[in-house]
Amino acid sequence: MTSMPKCRQVRLARHPEAMIQPSDLVIAETQLPPSGPTDVVVRNRWFRVSISTRLMADRDAQAVEGIPFPALSPGDTLADGAIGEVLACPPDSGFMVGDFVSHPFGWRDHAVVPVGQCVALGRGPIEPAAYLGHGWTAYAALTRGIRIRPGDTVFVSSAAGAIGSMAGQVARRLGAARVIGSTGSRDKADWMRADLGYDAAVLRNGGPLADQLAAAAPDGIDVFVDMVGGDHLVAAVGAAREGARFVLLGALTAELDRQGASVVAPAALDSFQLILKDITLRGYSADRDVAAFAEWIAWQRDAGLHFARTMVAGLDAAPQALHDACEGRLRGVVIVAL
């Protein structure tokens, strides 16, 4: 390439006080740095907005093993999974101009990406949510974290969210007989039943979860896919059947605490129940099972899944999208189209 394109990117302007606001972020224009002999230059077409960005924008944020986001300081450019179109690449890289690649440098319209951080997606039509969404996280959790057995009753917390909107569908296709999800509003509960195949929903602000779960799963639950922790985890232990398997993926109760994001998520569990019911609790990060991603891409092609996503247009809309995602206003994975 003779001249490098300019790059618009979203940066952290200041640490958020409690809930992250669009004004905590700023859009800057800069010259794209020159690419080296092992770099690919891409024009981004889509990137993901993750609520974990709020956590890592916190004043006290520190790099945490298992969270694939760096802690952010004012002036830093945000990053997240992206899909871009190759504008230039080294001749022996295996890529060609016009190919789609996924890479970790979202929140900007152009990027210079080391070849080793690009994954080839070919040239055809792309469903961005298949690659940027968290179907693969749900798939990895339910095939490697724990294993679904035919006839299982499965409870998923934050079931309208990025992981949860896929977890119920994946569980069903792996053999679950009944899937129940939690959410924050009746609208989302209706949508989960209509579009995501959930049999029943419980509301996180809709009265005691134990009572709601007892009504939704009168015979108890076999599997719990947990994104929330806290009261959800306590209620799931109460509803568990003998031999239940829990896979713990996130702790939104701490991460989306309105007073401030935290990585400390206490829950007062009745350990006697864990013993008497022979419950397995497994903390799990899909990032440790990267091989699951390729398997997911092949598996999802014929699985007839509904890719639940909120699509937002343009870089300028991205800061508001992060705020709205953290406020629980959006559904499925949040993707910015550029």
Ligand X SMILES: NC(=O)c1ccc[n+]([C@@H]2O[C@H](COP(=O)([O-])OP(=O)(O)OC[C@H]3O[C@@H](n4cnc5c(N)ncnc54)[C@H](OP(=O)(O)O)[C@@H]3O)[C@@H](O)[C@H]2O)c1
Residues found near ligand X in the complex (CB under 6 A): 50-52, 134, 137, 158, 160-164, 183-185, 188, 204, 227-228, 249-253, 255-256, 284-287, 325, 328, 330
In the complex, the smallest distance separating the C-beta of residue 324 from ligand X, rounded to whole angstroms, is 9
Longest dimension (CA), the chain: 69
What distance in Å separates the CA atoms of residue 323 and residue 317, rounded to the nearest whole number? 10
In the complex, the smallest distance separating the C-beta of residue 24 from ligand X, rounded to whole angstroms, is 18
**2 — phi, psi (to 5°)?**
-80, -55
Q: Which is nearer to ligand X, 233 or 325 (CB)?
A: 325
- The DSSP secondary-structure symbol of 103 reads E
Q: Is 175 left (phi over 0), alpha (psi -120 to 50) or beta?
A: left
Q: Which is nearer to ligand X, 287 or 316 (CB)?
A: 287
Among all residues, whose Cβ is closest to ligand X? 161
In the complex, the smallest distance separating the C-beta of residue 334 from ligand X, rounded to whole angstroms, is 8
Q: Which is nearer to ligand X, 35 or 165 (CB)?
A: 165
For residues 78 and 154, the answer to whether their CB atoms sit within 8 Å is no
In the complex, the smallest distance separating the C-beta of residue 109 from ligand X, rounded to whole angstroms, is 23
- The DSSP secondary-structure symbol of 32 reads P
* Four-point Cα dihedral 243, 166, 105, 55, nearest 10: -60
Q: Which is nearer to ligand X, 105 or 136 (CB)?
A: 136
In the complex, the smallest distance separating the C-beta of residue 188 from ligand X, rounded to whole angstroms, is 5
Q: Which is nearer to ligand X, 66 or 94 (CB)?
A: 66
Q: Which is nearer to ligand X, 84 or 135 (CB)?
A: 135
Of 190, 128, 184, 132, the C-alpha closest to 161 is: 184
In the complex, the smallest distance separating the C-beta of residue 114 from ligand X, rounded to whole angstroms, is 23
**Pair type for strands 309-313 and 333-337:** parallel
In the complex, the smallest distance separating the C-beta of residue 307 from ligand X, rounded to whole angstroms, is 14
Q: Which is nearer to ligand X, 115 or 202 (CB)?
A: 202
In the complex, the smallest distance separating the C-beta of residue 161 from ligand X, rounded to whole angstroms, is 2
Give the position of tokens 């397995």: 280
In the complex, the smallest distance separating the C-beta of residue 252 from ligand X, rounded to whole angstroms, is 4
Q: What is the DSSP string of 147-206?
A: ---TT-EEEESSTTSTTHHHHHHHHHHTT-SEEEEEES-HHHHHHHHHHS--SEEEETTS
Of 290, 306, 292, the C-alpha closest to 130 is: 306
Q: Which is nearer to ligand X, 102 or 253 (CB)?
A: 253
CB neighbour list of residue 290: distance below 8 Å, 6 or more residues apart: none
Q: Which is nearer to ligand X, 99 or 181 (CB)?
A: 181
How long is the chain?
A: 338
